Structure 1
Amino acid sequence: MSQALQRVGDSRTVRRTLLAVSAVLAVLVFGAPLALVFARAFALGGSVYLEKIGDPLTLPAVRLTVLAALVVTLINTVFGICAAWLITRHSFRGRGLLTALIELPVSVSPIVAGVAYLFLYGAQGLLGPLLSAQGWRIMFTAPAIFLASLFVTAPYVARELITVMQAQAQDDEEAALTLGASGFRIFLSVTLPNVRWALFYGALLCNARVMGEFGAVSVVSGKIRGRTETLPLHIEVLFNDYNATGAFAASSLLALLALVTLGLKSLAEWRLAAASRD
């Protein structure tokens, strides 16, 4: 007669202990700081909060942050789709190298990426004088923010799609191929619908990271107030100016965006889990 082995965590005491520790850590690490941000943001009332949000220097930071998120997420989504299709559906020399390059930004400090762009496209950089001679300036402009954010967030969409596409069977795609469908038609009609939630999930992660990126952007933006300040940079400036209320008001916007992203992320995870069961 086989004897059932007790798994770790089957004990009621162990489960309750783990639950209590997780709840305490969640409150201390996530809940308390988030509650503090909103409490300090509204400490002087809703009218003061709206005044701080509508500050002439805060609104441009919000607009630039949203613009950077839209541009970078769109580009990285297209890049992620192309890279995932190439890596999972084709065999070629250098596929491992391409995969490693996609993973590279995860292991590189964002500040290192910003410095690299500065020494490449800056006025005294490798390509800076050539660009200046053509009347082009990249560093300390919005395009510099886009470039740095592109590097930092490049893996997010691609990694999600590669994982899902490698795990999925290719029977539907092969059936469509035997019926004479082109590669582009197969991708639009078969592959893309099967990975749409993974694509959505990766785009959400990319969008959230762009809006919260500080290190690389702080190097290449020049922190020009009203022009090249994203919301995280603007929050730092407000704190340095001892404008705590304005800093917490701006921080609450990022927190709200994070909460919305978390809700959408949970939806995408649920749909991904449901799709994998099907």
Structure 2
Amino acid sequence: MIREPKPVRWVLRLFVICYVGLLVLWPVFLVAQRTLSPGWQAVVSSLSSPEVLLGLRLTGIATFWSVLFNLVFGVGISLLLVRYEFRGKRLLSVLLDLPLSVSPVVVGLALMLVYAKGTPVGRFLYGIGYQIIFATPGIVLATTFVALPLVIREVVPVLTEIGDDQEVAARSLGASGWQTFWRVTLPGIKWAVVYGVVLTLARSLGEFGAVKVVSGNISLQTQTATLVVQDTYQDFQQQTAYTVSLLLTLAAVLCITVVALLRPKEKLS
């Protein structure tokens, strides 16, 4: 462990506190203050409005499927990247980071070009009764895409660190592939998976750009909670905007806090 002089440590601590305070704590505090200042009756009234209820419902649906899809896909792709060698492996690893490097608005536009009703894929899906764009499936698809790499980037380093010695030993003793995964691999990466899920959950709750493009932002039909925040704030319904914003923030912070408290403390060597 590096031991810096005491003045240097205090300066670094002060810098970190100011940085986090100005960028995170102070804005969140102001949102909470504006939300609670009119009283709890105003908060309850804001949450009971039809547009807020629908927005929270759509956000919950999109977040659930995003977490589920990215959990299954993320663990599978992580195992593929770490445990197997194949052509195009490096290219695949680079492509998986694309959702983090491309603007969500661009992601939404790209999905429109693929799944809109006037495209070949969109016409086919619409013909068999599935509407993607300007409907809930499009919202789920956009939310899933923007959170795609989060589970993978948490699991891959842990899989690399623990190696495959225990997995090879389990298979040599007669364990099947599923038995090896459930009893050997998964216990070793469980906290990485949990953190990836929490990050995916927080990212999905706050998605705005891609969802706004593919949903059409139709009031009382395809508005998620973040879109409700924008519309109500622009319509001078600040109390509703503050309330929904605080609710989304508290949900994300609660998930991260619970995981941080439950995770075993790492022993320092």
Given candidates 214, 236, 239, the residue that maps to 2:230 is 236
- Tell me the equivalent position of 1:76: 70
Q: CA deviation at 1:149?
A: 1.1
Post-superposition shift, 1:55? 1.1
Residue in structure 2 matched with residue 122 of structure 1 by the alignment: 116
Q: Distance in 1 between matches of 2:268 and 2:216?
A: 49
* Matched residue count: 268
Q: How many angstroms apart in 2 are the aligned matches of 1:123 and 1:203?
A: 32
Indicate which of 10, 13, 16 corresponds to 1:19.
13
Residues in 2 aligned to 1:176 and 1:146: alpha-carbon distance in whole angstroms:
38
Larger mean CA deviation between 232-241 and 80-89 belongs to 80-89
Mapped to 1, the partners of 2:30 and 2:70 lie a distance apart of 34
Please, which moves more after superposition, 138-147 or 251-260?
251-260
Please give the TM-score of this superposition, normalised by the length of structure 2.
0.94
* Cross-structure match for 1:91: 85
2:22 counterpart of 1:39: no
- Residue identity opposite 2:55 in structure 1: A
Q: Distance in 1 between matches of 2:12 and 2:76?
A: 42
- 177-186 vs 122-131, greater mean Cα deviation: 122-131
User: Which of 129, 139, 154 is the equivalent residue of 1:160?
Assistant: 154
Sequence identity percentage? 36
Do the aligned partners of 1:119 and 1:126 also contact (CA within 8 Å) in 2?
no
Is 1:111 the counterpart of 2:105? The answer is yes
- The amino acid of 2:164's aligned partner reads Q
Alpha-carbon offset, residue 57 of structure 1:
1.2
Q: 1:203 aligns with which of 185, 197, 203?
A: 197
Gaps of 5+ in 1: 1-6
Tell me how far apart the structure 1 counterparts of residues 99 and 179 of structure 2 sit (CA, whole Å): 32
After TM superposition, give the deviation of residue 163 of structure 1 in Å: 1.2
One-letter identity of the residue aligned with 2:28: L
The answer as to whether partners of 2:205 and 2:252 remain within 8 angstroms in 1 is: no
Q: Distance in 2 between matches of 1:183 and 1:133?
A: 40
- Give TM-score scaled by structure 1 length: 0.91
Letter paired with 2:171:
L
Is the partner of 1:91 in helix, strand or coil? coil
Change (3 A) 1:21 1:277: closer
- CA shift, 1:76, in A, is 0.6
Alpha-carbon distance in structure 2 between the residues aligned to 1:131 and 1:65: 23
What are the Cα deviations for residues 50-79 of structure 1, in whole angstroms up to 9, with x where unaligned?
111111210111111111111110011000
Letter in 2 for 1:18: L
Q: In the TM superposition, what is the alpha-carbon distance from 1:218 to its structure 2 partner? A: 0.6
CA deviations over 1:72-102 (Å, ceiling 9, x no partner) = 1001100011111111112222222221221
User: Aligned to 1:148, which of 134, 142, 150?
Assistant: 142
Q: Distance in 2 between matches of 1:277 and 1:187?
A: 28
1:176 is matched with: 170
Whole-Å separation in 1 of the counterparts to 2:169 and 2:120: 51
Q: Secondary structure at the match of 2:247?
A: helix
Deviation of 1:265 (Å): 4.4
The offset of 1:126, in angstroms, is: 4.2
Q: Would you say the 8 A contact 1:64–1:229 is kept in 2?
A: yes
Which whole-Å CA distance do the structure 2 matches of 1:15 and 1:257 have between them?
33
Aligned residues: CA RMSD = 1.8
- For residues 162 and 253 of structure 1, the distance between their equivalents in structure 2, rounded to whole angstroms, comes to 32
Retained in 2: the 8 A contact 1:111–1:216? yes
- Answer yes or no: is 1:28 the counterpart of 2:22: yes
Give yes or no for contact 2:134–2:222 (8 Å, CA) kept in 1.
yes
How big is the shift at 1:106?
1.5
- One-letter amino acid of the structure 2 residue matched with residue 17 of structure 1: V
Deviates more, 1:172-181 or 1:19-28: 19-28
Question: Which residue number in structure 2 is paired with residue 3 of structure 1?
Answer: none
